[in-house]
Amino acid sequence: MAAEQRTPPRGSGRGQRVTIADIARRAGVTSAAVSLAVNGRPGVSDATRERILEIARELRWEPSPAARALAGAPVLTVGMVLARPAEILGAEAFFGAFVAGLQEVLSREDYSLQMKIVETPEAEIETFRRWFSQRRVDGVVVVDLRLDDARIPALEELGLPALVVGGPGHHGSLPSVYVDDAHATRLLVDHLAELGHTRIARVAGDDVFLHTHQRDRTFAARCEELGLEGLNQPAGFGASGAEVATAELLSREEPPSALLFDSDEMALAGCHVLEQAGLAVPADVAVASYEDSPLARGHRPPITAIGRSATEYGRVAADRLLEVIAARRERRETGGAGEPETRALIPELIVRGSTAPQLDGATGPSEEGPERPATRSSRTA
């Protein structure tokens, strides 16, 4: 009796991909039956479905992203587009940590992250439209929320699941997660006021972003409430803008005794200008930052900063987006649950050696006082 011979599937050779047709030949069914089985759709018996799935596992078959998209199945990919210069992104600690948090959650759920850097918000919108039409992603993370942001209505029109990182407000019907910048601003201003500073300057980032306007507005209001002189100095993001802004503030007839910077990179650049001017931190000028980072912690003196873990921020954003994707799928299939609500993350103030009580006669060169140990505060203003 001749030994049974099996024809190997065409995709079984090295470098060749196993296809649905290969599984169908092995199972003795049609390709349509295999498609129904592997996509969990009705139309085949339980016994046939189990036999097809067993053969698929045996052949180590994996669906291609394109095939999953055509079948209406999740492609297990999330997209994020950034419209910032590459050199700015490379210098920012925030985005690296934020992406790490995203990746941690997405990888755990077998999702991939597709990133693209473009030059304009218009190019962002075109990317979203292309990804949607080609079914390249299941959803997107939207960062750098702007006033009157054209991306929001574009995504609402597309119906592409999206999670906005920013707020409150200005995100339309899309769910969002955001750090409460108004609370962060009050923490910083109150801390400096408690130390006796009455002339405080805010070295502000790019005014196209919503959070810059929120910080500007809250800073001015809080300084007025406390009877402080609050100066707002636009700088744009980046070290060079912060250096110019700091120098301009120091050239004033009555310079501020405390400086608030919109990022850690800007704060370090400002400290460099102060050092070049012969001014000590914090003895002559107190310095604080809206962003914390290893560089801020490692500076001498360490920089007082708003503590918000960018990595945790990324984790929360990824969790929320996956909930949005799942809720959208459930609503489409069953008319069930709605999408998750907006969530605010409450920051804390981390007090370090760069802020100290104002000395009589500041701002002017003086002997640097002893460095104070870092403490944490989660006061509610």
pLDDT of residue 101: 95
Out of 125-139, 274-288, 333-347, the most confident range is 274-288
For residues 140-152, give the mean pLDDT. Answer: 93
Q: Are residues 323 and 214 in the same domain?
A: no
Q: Which residue has the higher pLDDT, 335 or 228?
A: 228
Q: Are residues 57 and 145 in the same domain?
A: no
The number of beta carbons lying within 10 Å of the beta carbon of residue 60 is 9
For residues 251-268, give the mean pLDDT. Answer: 95
Q: Are residues 234 and 292 in the same domain?
A: yes
Q: What is the pLDDT of residues 265-322, one digit of tens each?
A: 999 999 999 999 999 999 999 999 999 989 899 999 999 999 988 999 999 999 999 9
Q: What is the CATH number of the domain that holds 43?
A: 1.10.260.40
Residue 6 lies in a domain: no
> Residues 105-135, buried b or exposed e (16+ Cβ, 10 A)?
bbeeeebebeeeeeeebeebbebbeebbeeb
Q: Are residues 199 and 266 in the same domain?
A: yes
Residue 7 lies in a domain: no
Distance separating alpha carbons of residues 102 and 98, to the nearest angstrom: 6
Q: Are residues 172 and 284 in the same domain?
A: no
Q: Are residues 87 and 162 in the same domain?
A: yes
Q: Are residues 219 and 360 in the same domain?
A: yes
The number of beta carbons lying within 10 Å of the beta carbon of residue 343 is 14
Out of 18-27, 115-124, 186-195, 306-315, the most confident range is 186-195
Q: Are residues 301 and 217 in the same domain?
A: yes
What is the distance, to the nearest Å, from the Cα of residue 222 to the centroid of all Cα atoms in its chain? 27
Residue 239 lies in a domain: yes
pLDDT of residue 255: 96
Q: Which residue has the higher pLDDT, 40 or 29?
A: 29
Residue 1 lies in a domain: no
pLDDT of residue 380: 32
Extract the tokens encoding 173.
Answer: 């019907």
**Which sign does the torsion angle of CA 30, 34, 35, 40 carry?**
positive
Distance separating alpha carbons of residues 88 and 176, to the nearest angstrom: 24
Q: Are residues 45 and 157 in the same domain?
A: no
- Is the pLDDT confidence value at 9 over 70? no
Domain of 222, in residue numbers: 181-307+348-377
Q: Are residues 370 and 260 in the same domain?
A: yes
Q: Are residues 119 and 129 in the same domain?
A: yes
Specify the residue for token string 């009705």.
42
What are the φ/ψ torsions at residue 306 (nearest 5 degrees)?
Answer: -80, 125
For residues 222-240, give the mean pLDDT. Answer: 93
Residue 203 lies in a domain: yes
pLDDT of residue 75: 82
Residue 71 lies in a domain: no
Residue 72 lies in a domain: no
pLDDT of residue 73: 61
Q: What is the CATH number of the domain that holds 327?
A: 3.40.50.2300
Provide the number of structural domains found in the chain.
3
What is the percentage of the chain residues whose pLDDT exceeds 70?
83
Q: Are residues 260 and 227 in the same domain?
A: yes
Specify the residue for token string 């850097």.
117
Q: Which of 12-26, 161-175, 209-223, 266-280 has the lowest mean pLDDT?
A: 12-26
For residues 204-209, give the mean pLDDT. Answer: 90
pLDDT of residue 140: 97
- Is the pLDDT confidence value at 368 over 60? no
pLDDT of residue 21: 86
Residue 69 lies in a domain: no
